[in-house]
Amino acid sequence: MRKDFYIFRHGETDYNRERRWQGCGIDAELNADGLVQAQNLAVRLENAGLEHIYSSNLRRALQTARIVAGHLHIGVDVVPELREGCFGEAEGMFKSEIAVKYADIYKEWYSETDNMNVRFPGGESKAEMQARMFAALEKLLDKPYGVVGIASHGSSIRYLLYKFGLPPHRMENTALFRLIYENGLWRLEN
């Protein structure tokens, strides 16, 4: 059995533009640029053979998924486990404020040692995000579609893909990745 997952980050929101952390507790919509980014993503995915899209329940991802699905004439189902990570008390704050208020955690969050257990007060750890996202993908293996889209979020995608060897990195809105499951093995393709 083979399943292809085209995993993409949502389009831009005003929070992204302002460099504020959204997390799962901020349910912002796409801004005008984000809507254009989603339309451009739909064009990029025209020849991917997508049969269905599964999306986070947060508006920014769901809007992106619906724009892509509308362009490709396929359906969308919501999978809440594909949501962004919970950043607890850091949600809604400017990145510059977080760097001051939670200096040690912020430094550890972006450290090259990549401590997967780091978390903000009241939030999820990187390891918890990764486990949640991977469990969601494993459940999708039972679905009837062979090629699907996954609409999700920067941190959740980042730490999911870290499991497959992609070092954590800054990703643009509507960044696109391809993860393949075949004969019991997972592999990440560019």
pLDDT by residue (tens digit) across 91-139?
A: 999 999 999 999 999 999 988 777 999 999 999 999 999 999 999 999 9
Nearest-5° angle of CA 83, CA 173, CA 135?
30
Residues β-bridged to residue 181 = 3, 186
What is the three-class DSSP state of 9?
Answer: strand
Give me the amino acid identity at 189.
Answer: E
Which among 10, 91, 124, 153 is annotated as catalytic?
Answer: 10
Q: Which domains are delineated in the chain?
A: 2-85+125-189 (3.40.50.1240)
The pLDDT tens digits for 22-67 are 999 999 999 999 999 999 999 999 999 999 999 999 999 999 999 9
Tell which phi-psi region holds residue 180, choosing left (phi > 0), alpha (psi between -120 and 50) or beta: beta
Q: What is the CA radius of gyration of the chain?
A: 16
Query: What's the rounded Cα separation, in Å, for the pair 3 and 70?
Result: 22
130 close to 163: Cβ distance less than 8 angstroms? yes
State yes or no: is 84 an active-site residue: yes
Which among 12, 84, 91, 124 is annotated as catalytic?
Answer: 84
